[in-house]
A and B are shown apart, each in its own frame.
Chain A
Amino acid sequence: MELGEIVSVLLQGAVVTIQIVAMALPLAALMAFVFGLIRLYAPAPFKQLAIVYIEFFRGTSALIQLYWIYFVLPFFGVSIDALTAGVLALGLNIGAYGTEVVRGAIQAVPKGQYEASVALNFSASQRLVYIILPQALVNMIPPFGNLSIELVKATSLVSLITIADLTFKAKSLADMTLQVGEIFGVVLVLYFAIAQCLSLFFRYLEKRLSRGLGRGGVN
């Protein structure tokens, strides 16, 4: 096979990979915020539920979670297609790590900010929404950037439940053509390119946000 043909087949896989990232990333962010906030502020039983979720998904591996959702859930009568299983497993897994990012960033906001907002008589939810979260958000961007790259890497696992992502295409091309060197070389470069794009995006976001927050000096 020509290198051009290989690249074009692999690009189809890359599109699937990007689609999975685009679906799992919002899910992960949602889980991270919901359970991060529960972990910090909710009453005891909810807090424990959050801890169970976090410890479970961080304590076992993404691949096991993926297999469990894909192979075991159907036995319970929950029929689930490979794509949903993949997005669900990756979103829940990365989201569990994200809760700690949310929690850490909120706790890193100086205590004086909380005190000033109490002194100005803001309600508890106003304190969170208008004072604490806007500042915490900036602290969250770099670790979220790293997590999003972990997510891109983890998407390669969905190839093992037959989703035709970049890794899956690479593996089947390699089995077919035996041009393993070119194929896996191109694949590595493609993943690297996706990761670099995300990383650039998050760096841009951080700059934008911190400028909006008056941290950058120029308004």
Chain B
Amino acid sequence: MSQPIIEFKNVQKKFGDTTIFDGFNFRVEENEIVSIIGPSGSGKSTLLRILMTLEGIDGGYINVGGESLWHMLWNGAYVPASNKHLHKMRDQLGMVFQHFNLFPHMTVKRNITEAPMRVKGLSRQEAEKSAEELLELVGLSDKADSYPNDLSGGQKQRVGIARALAMRPSILLLDEITSALDPELVDEVLDVIRNLAKEQSFTMLLVTHEMYFAREISDRVCFFDNGNIVEEGKPEAIFTDPKETRTKAFLNAYLGQ
């Protein structure tokens, strides 16, 4: 097997007294699209938030792109990562949030160009050119000068995707990106992800409750429960012939059978 782009080794994570991960192991290959499904509170968001460095870990190692995420080599020993190290590691990662988290005080265009200009040092022209392409990709070219609060939920989320893509991450983290949307707006957002999956080479890690979408888009589906991967495999295998009783129960409840 080639070098994985993401690897969790024996990761521990606690919130106070509650243990979320206890010796968690997980790997993702480059350009793989992995869907994570599972009941509420099983630690799906926590997994993505740890990768995005929004949460620390209490033990174990995580490698991203062959380098340790939360630790760095210093005089031959591993020490907790510095801000500088985290800054470097975050360069590979992008995230789209359930509640969009767009910057309300900036136009759509500024939302997309701000980070490339300030963080990557792109010139205004470069950043705006790239923003125009991305807005076209998500079908919102006409909204460049609108403010987020004047957009529908589906439009906001498409801006959220464009904003994350503008930083050219190699790994995209998507946490229930359609669950805050009205049902009729879900598809316009999923279509964008479908196209991304088809046209570009990305590693994508997505937490979702849209089972049909997970089945259609993923290379691999992981069923999570209690901070563990209970079952994983090809989408067909998981959805048509789950082996574990907990997976069966979850899918039955979800797919209404």
Q: Do A and B bind each other?
A: yes
Contacts of B101 in A (CB 8 A): 110, 112-113, 115-116
A142 interface hit (Cβ, 8 Å): no
Within the complex, the shortest CB–CB distance from B55 to chain A, in Å, comes to 10
Q: Count the A-B residue pairs with Cβ separation under 8 angstroms: how many?
A: 74
**23 cross-chain CB contacts under 8 A:** A110-B101, A112-B97, A112-B101, A113-B101, A116-B101, A118-B52, A118-B54, A119-B52, A119-B94, A120-B163, A121-B91, A121-B119, A122-B118, A122-B119, A131-B103, A134-B105, A135-B103, A213-B104, A213-B105, A214-B104, A214-B148, A215-B104, A219-B145
Within the complex, the shortest CB–CB distance from B148 to chain A, in Å, comes to 7
A111 to chain B: closest residue by CB: B101
User: Across the interface, do A214 and B95 meet the contact criterion of CB distance under 8 Å?
Assistant: no
CB under 8 Å from chain B, chain A span 138-169: none
Residues of A within 8 A of B (CB): 110, 112-113, 115-116, 118-124, 126, 130-131, 134-135, 212-215, 217, 219
Contacts of A124 in B (CB 8 A): 83
Q: Which of B99, B100, B115 contacts A122 (CB 8 A)?
A: B115
A contact patch SS: helix
User: Across the interface, do A119 and B164 meet the contact criterion of CB distance under 8 Å?
Assistant: yes
Q: Bound complex: CA of A117 vs CA of B147, how far in Å?
A: 18
Q: Bound complex: CA of A118 vs CA of B55, how far in Å?
A: 11
B71 interface hit (Cβ, 8 Å): no
Within the complex, the shortest CB–CB distance from A66 to chain B, in Å, comes to 39
A120 to chain B: closest residue by CB: B115
Q: Convert B104-121 into 0s and 1s, putting 1 for each residue whose CB lies closer than 8 angstroms to a CB of A.
A: 111100000011001100
User: Across the interface, do A126 and B52 meet the contact criterion of CB distance under 8 Å?
Assistant: no
Q: Bound complex: CA of A116 vs CA of B104, how far in Å?
A: 12
User: Across the interface, do B99 and A112 meet the contact criterion of CB distance under 8 Å?
Assistant: yes
Q: Bound complex: CA of A124 vs CA of B119, how far in Å?
A: 11
Q: Bound complex: CA of A118 vs CA of B49, how far in Å?
A: 11
B90 interface hit (Cβ, 8 Å): yes
Contacts of B251 in A (CB 8 A): none
Within the complex, the shortest CB–CB distance from B21 to chain A, in Å, comes to 20
Contacts of A119 in B (CB 8 A): 52, 54, 90, 93-95, 97, 164
Q: Bound complex: CA of A41 vs CA of B147, how far in Å?
A: 30
A137 to chain B: closest residue by CB: B105
Q: Bound complex: CA of A135 vs CA of B102, how far in Å?
A: 12
Interface centre among A113, A120, A130 (most CB of B within 10 A): A120
Q: Bound complex: CA of A42 vs CA of B87, how far in Å?
A: 21
Within the complex, the shortest CB–CB distance from A140 to chain B, in Å, comes to 14
Q: Bound complex: CA of A134 vs CA of B147, how far in Å?
A: 15
Q: Bound complex: CA of A214 vs CA of B83, how far in Å?
A: 32
User: Across the interface, do B103 and A113 meet the contact criterion of CB distance under 8 Å?
Assistant: yes
User: Across the interface, do B103 and A115 meet the contact criterion of CB distance under 8 Å?
Assistant: no
Q: Which of A112, A118, A123, A126 contacts B53 (CB 8 A)?
A: A118
Interface centre among B54, B94, B115, B164 (most CB of A within 10 A): B115
Within the complex, the shortest CB–CB distance from B41 to chain A, in Å, comes to 19
B150 interface hit (Cβ, 8 Å): yes
User: Across the interface, do A214 and B105 meet the contact criterion of CB distance under 8 Å?
Assistant: yes
Contacts of A212 in B (CB 8 A): 105
Q: Bound complex: CA of A135 vs CA of B103, how far in Å?
A: 9
User: Across the interface, do B54 and A126 meet the contact criterion of CB distance under 8 Å?
Assistant: no
Contacts of B103 in A (CB 8 A): 113, 116, 131, 135
User: Across the interface, do B119 and A120 meet the contact criterion of CB distance under 8 Å?
Assistant: yes
B167 interface hit (Cβ, 8 Å): yes
